[in-house]
């Protein structure tokens, strides 16, 4: 997936309609949070829309744009306003693996992650790494895809006679399971909610083209013999509404805080006296 995502750097921003919308809705949630982080990070930044929004909100914070695909970071730099680049106030770019961030413990006040975590078969290690690099009282805010994503295509697979075990579409984690993972990772006060966002296309190839431009086509659709895909797309056509095909995405939103530690690394409990 890393190579596909890297190749998509030049086309990502044009096709990122869903990511732009979920990012806008994540930003609205920040309106209700009173924080003043010193260091902020957009982890899985893609072409940098998220870090630019965070910079607009937290002008005094040091911004980090983190991604495992170097071409995406170069796209983020290219999209940085010229005045910011001249004044060296653009985001610091960090090419890194989410599971092994080269950051110190407690070095971030806010982590923003838009449509990243669902690409992990098990998001828990990534959440633990997020918890490690957040400072006490720091906030994690994220959006990810949920299990009803592309429910129309899943129904079309069923109608085309594809067995449930053979449906190639990626399966995503339930909102409640993600909430449990946040607690297991050491976060406190997790808040989860979800909504459906439906995009429409004149033909199935438009949906496929967008996912290819985003660099996630193979990861999202999986693999199926073309003859079977043809039957699926024929069944998908039966769901056409107002001359367009719906493609629904379940968006799971979450945020949680890093609490005071209750024990140190050797297992001894921490007791606070006031």
In this model, does residue 47 exceed pLDDT 90?
A: yes
d(CA 72, CA 8): 8
Residue 33's pLDDT band (cuts 50, 70, 90): very high
Residue 35 and residue 260: Cα distance in Å, rounded?
Answer: 17
pLDDT of the residue at 263: 61
What residues contact residue 126 under an 8 Å CB cut-off, 6+ apart? 98, 99, 117, 120
134-158 residue pLDDT tens: 999 999 999 999 999 999 999 999 9
> Structural domain boundaries of the chain?
2-257
**In this model, does residue 264 exceed pLDDT 70?**
no
Tell me how far the alpha carbon of residue 235 is from its chain's centroid.
30
CATH topology of domain 2-257: Rossmann fold (3.40.50)
> What is the average pLDDT across 185-202?
97
- State the average pLDDT for the chain: 93
What pLDDT is recorded for position 268?
A: 55
pLDDT per residue over 236-246, tens digit each? 999 999 999 99
């Amino acid at each position: 997936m890393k190579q596909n995502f890297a190749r998509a750097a030049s086309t990502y921003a044009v096709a990122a309609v869903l990511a732009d919308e979920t990012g806008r809705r994540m930003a609205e949630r920040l309106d209700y949070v009173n924080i003043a982080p010193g260091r902020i990070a957009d982890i899985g930044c893609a072409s940098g829309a998220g870090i630019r929004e965070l910079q607009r909100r937290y002008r005094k914070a040091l911004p980090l744009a983190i991604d495992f695909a170097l071409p995406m970071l170069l796209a983020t730099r290219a999209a940085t306003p010229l005045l910011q680049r001249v004044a060296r106030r653009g985001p610091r770019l960090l090419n890194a693996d989410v599971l092994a961030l080269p950051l110190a413990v407690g070095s971030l006040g806010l982590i923003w992650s838009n449509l990243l975590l669902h690409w992990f078969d098990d998001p828990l290690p990534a959440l633990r790494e997020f918890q490690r690099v957040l400072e006490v009282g720091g906030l994690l805010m994220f959006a990810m895809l949920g299990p009803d994503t592309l429910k129309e295509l899943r129904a079309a697979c069923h109608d085309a006679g594809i067995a449930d075990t053979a449906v190639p579409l990626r399966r995503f984690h339930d909102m409640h399971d993600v909430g449990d993972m946040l607690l297991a990772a050491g976060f406190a006060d997790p808040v989860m909610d979800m909504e459906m966002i439906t995009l429409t296309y004149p033909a199935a190839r438009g949906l496929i083209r967008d996912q290819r431009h985003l660099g996630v086509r193979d990861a999202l659709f999986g693999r199926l013999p073309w003859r079977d895909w043809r039957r699926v797309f024929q069944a998908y056509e039966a769901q056409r509404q107002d001359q367009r095909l719906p493609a629904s995405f379940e968006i799971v939103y979450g945020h949680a805080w890093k609490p005071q530690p209750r024990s140190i690394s050797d297992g001894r409990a921490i007791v606070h006296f006031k």
